[in-house]
Chain A
Amino acid sequence: MSAQTVQDTAAPTVVVENVGKSYGDRTILADFSLTLRPGEFVALLGASGSGKTTLLRILAGLEEHDSGTVEAPAERTVVFQEPRLVASKRVGSNVILGQRSTRDRRAAASAALAEVGLGGREAAWPTTLSGGEAQRVALARALVRNPRLLLLDEPFAALDALTRIKMQALVTELCHEHRPAVLLVTHDVDEAILLADRVAVLQDGKVGVELEVPFDRPRRRGVPGFGDFRRRLLLELGVEEAIGAA
C-alpha cells in the first residue's frame, strides 16, 4: 500500500510522448516529448509560430493531437495571455467560474484574491480593473482550484514592463507555495531563466534542447553565468544577439 502511494507521488504529472499535430499540410508538432514531475516549473521556449501554444492547448484539453500519447491530470488550469474574465460577473464570481457558489468556495475565492494582492475586491467588476489586476484575477482563478498542473500561456506578454516584473515574482512565489507542476510557454528567454527549474527549447516541432537552470533562487539578471546561459538559449532559438557597431 505504502509503496503504491510513494510510487504515485513520484509518478510524473505530465507525460507527452511522440506527439504529432498538423493543420492541413503544415506540421506544428512532430515527435514532441516532454515530462513534468510534480511541483516542477518548466518553461517551453520557442519563437512565435513554433507550436508552443498548440502544445499547451493540447495539454489543456482545448485541442486534439493527431498522434502519440498525452497524459495530463484532470486537475489542470490555465492562465492565458489575456485575462479572459466574464464581463458580467463580479471578480469574486469570476474566480469561482464553473463552480457552485457555496460559502466555502466564496471564502476560498477571497483567500485566493488576497494571495494575489486583491483582497477585498470580490465585488469589483472586471471592467474597472487595470490590465495587471485583471491578470491577477485570472491567476487567482487558476490557483483557487488547487491544480496539479498549471498551464501559463505567455501570461505576462500583454503587461507593461514594470507590472510584468511584479507579476513574475508573484507567480514564482505562489507556485512555490502551491507546488503544482507548471508549464510556462514563452518566447522571452530572460523570463524562462528567471522563473523555471528547467527550460525546454522547441525546435522544428520537438524539444531540441532541455537544460536545468543552474541558478539559485531568488534569481536576478546579472548573476555570474546568466549572460552565457542566456546566449546559449538564444543560439538554440537561432538568434545571435549583438546590437550596435562592431
Chain B
Amino acid sequence: MTTGTTTSRALAEASPVGAAAAAGTVPATAPGAAGPRTGATSSGRRKRRSPRDVLLRASVPTAILALWFLGSAQGWIDEKQFPAPWQVGSAFVELVSTGVLWENLSVSLGRVAVGFAVGGLLGLTLGVVAGLFRLGDQLLDPTLQMLRTIPFLAIAPLLILWFGIDERPKIIIIAAAALFPLYLNTHSGVRNVDRKILEAGKVFGLRGLGLVRHVILPEAIPSVLVGLRVSLSVSLLALIVAEMSNAPRGIGFLMVSAQQYFQMDVLVVCVLIYAVWGLSVDLVVRLLERVLLPYKRLGRKP
C-alpha cells in the first residue's frame, strides 16, 4: 500500500509553475507559492529526495530513450523518417568540431540578448511607471493593452518589408515578444501591492521613493519574476520564427537548410538545442527566485 501513497506524492510535487511558464501562460499564483511545501522549514532546506523517488522520476524518460535506441537498432524506426541516437550524436559532434554550431548559436544568442534587453527593460520600466503613477497608467496602459492583443508574429512580414532581412526585424520581433509579459506582470505587481502594507510603510515614515524602494518594489518582485520567465520563453519562440524567415545565420537558418537537404540528424540536433535553451531559461529564473526571494522557500503560510 505504501507504493500508492509515495507515487501520488511524487506526482503532486511536480512543479506546475515551470510547466505553465514553458507553455507561455501566466500561472495564477506567485512563483514558489505553488511549489511543494516540504518539511524541515526550520532549517529552510528542501527535503532530500529519496533514491526511490529519483529512480521513479527518471524511469519514464529513460524508458523512452531506451525505446529509441532499441527501435533504431532493430530497424523499427525508419532512419529516413527519424534518425538514430548515434546519428544525432555524430551530427552534433560534427557541427561542434567544424564550428558550424557555435557560429550559428552565437548569432542566435546575440539576437535574443539584444532583443530581450531592449524589450524586457522597456516592459519593466513602463510597467513600473504605469503601476506607480496615475498619469503614467492613463497614458500608457490603454495603448499597451491594445498593442498586446496583436500577435507579435503577425507583424513579421511587415517588418521584413520595412527593414529587409538584416538584424533589425529579428531584434524588433524578439523585443516586442519580451516586452508585454514583463510589462503586464510588473504593472499588476506594482499595482496590487497590499494597500495595508503600504499604509504601514506610511505610518512608519516612508514616503515617495522610500516607499517605492522599501515596500512597493520588494513586494512586486514575485510578479516581475513570473513576467521574466514568460518573457524569456516567448522570446525564444520569437527567435525561432524570426530566424526561419530569411536569416543568413542562426539556429533557425541551420534548421531551414537542414530541412532543404533532408539532414534529419541536424534537424533533431537543432530541436534539442532549443529544448536545452528553454530548460536553461527556466533554471536561470529559478536561480533568480532563490536569490531574490529567499523567504519564498521557507514559510508556514503558502
User: Looking at the complex, which one of B41, B196, B293 makes contact with A84 (CB distance below 8 Å)?
Assistant: B196
Is A191 at the interface (CB under 8 A from chain B)? no
Type the 1/0 row for B215-242, where 1 means its CB is closer than 8 Å to any CB of A: 1001101000000000000000000000
Type the 1/0 row for B185-206, where 1 means its CB is closer than 8 Å to any CB of A: 0000000001011011111111
Task: Check if B204 sits within 8 Å of A97, measured CB to CB.
Answer: yes
Chain B residues near A181: list those with CB within 8 A: none
Stretch at the interface among A74-82, A113-121, A214-222, A236-244: A74-82
How many cross-chain pairs have Cβ atoms below 8 Å apart between A and B? 72
Is B298 at the interface (CB under 8 A from chain A)? yes
- Given A127-B298, A127-B299, A128-B300, also A98-B201 (CB < 8 A): yes
Top-4 shortest CB links A-B: A127-B299, A125-B295, A88-B218, A84-B200
- Given A60-B203, A80-B200, also A98-B295 (CB < 8 A): no
Chain B residues near A86: list those with CB within 8 A: 197, 201, 214-215, 218-219
Type the 1/0 row for A65-90, where 1 means its CB is closer than 8 Å to any CB of B: 00000000000111010101111110
Is B210 at the interface (CB under 8 A from chain A)? yes
- Given A62-B202, A77-B204, A98-B205, also A88-B293 (CB < 8 A): yes
The binding surface of chain A is classed by DSSP as: loop
Is A9 at the interface (CB under 8 A from chain B)? no
Is B301 at the interface (CB under 8 A from chain A)? yes
Residue of A with least CB distance to B295: A125
Is A180 at the interface (CB under 8 A from chain B)? no
- Given A86-B197, A86-B218, A98-B210, also A125-B298 (CB < 8 A): yes
Chain A residues near B201: list those with CB within 8 A: 86, 97-98
Extra contacts besides A77-B204, A86-B218, A128-B299 (15): CB < 8 Å: A62-B199, A77-B203, A78-B203, A84-B197, A86-B197, A86-B219, A88-B218, A97-B204, A98-B204, A98-B206, A98-B214, A99-B205, A127-B295, A127-B298, A141-B204
Is A208 at the interface (CB under 8 A from chain B)? no
In the complex, chain A residues 98-131 whose Cβ is within 8 Å of any chain B Cβ = 98-99, 125-130
Chain B residues near A80: list those with CB within 8 A: 196, 199-200
Range of interface residues on chain B?
A: 20 to 34
Is B75 at the interface (CB under 8 A from chain A)? no
Task: Check if A87 sits within 8 Å of B196, measured CB to CB.
Answer: no
14 CB contacts below 8 A, A to B, read A80-B199, A80-B200, A84-B199, A86-B214, A86-B219, A87-B218, A87-B219, A97-B201, A98-B210, A127-B298, A127-B299, A128-B42, A129-B300, A141-B204
- In the bound complex, CA of A98 to CA of B296 (Å): 23
- In the bound complex, CA of A84 to CA of B203 (Å): 11
Is B294 at the interface (CB under 8 A from chain A)? yes
Chain A residues near B215: list those with CB within 8 A: 86
Q: How far, in Å, is B29 (CB) from chain A's closest CB? A: 14
Chain B residues near A125: list those with CB within 8 A: 294-295, 298-299
In the complex, chain B residues 279-302 whose Cβ is within 8 Å of any chain A Cβ = 293-296, 298-301
Q: How far, in Å, is B206 (CB) from chain A's closest CB? A: 4
User: Looking at the complex, which one of B199, B214, B219, B299 makes contact with A97 (CB distance below 8 Å)?
Assistant: B214
Task: Check if B301 sits within 8 Å of A127, measured CB to CB.
Answer: yes
Chain A residues near B206: list those with CB within 8 A: 97-98
Type the 1/0 row for B15-47, where 1 means its CB is closer than 8 Å to any CB of A: 000000000000000000000000001100000
- Given A62-B202, A127-B300, A128-B298, also A88-B221 (CB < 8 A): yes
Chain A residues near B197: list those with CB within 8 A: 84-86
Task: Check if A88 sits within 8 Å of B196, measured CB to CB.
Answer: no
Chain B residues near A98: list those with CB within 8 A: 201, 204-206, 210, 214
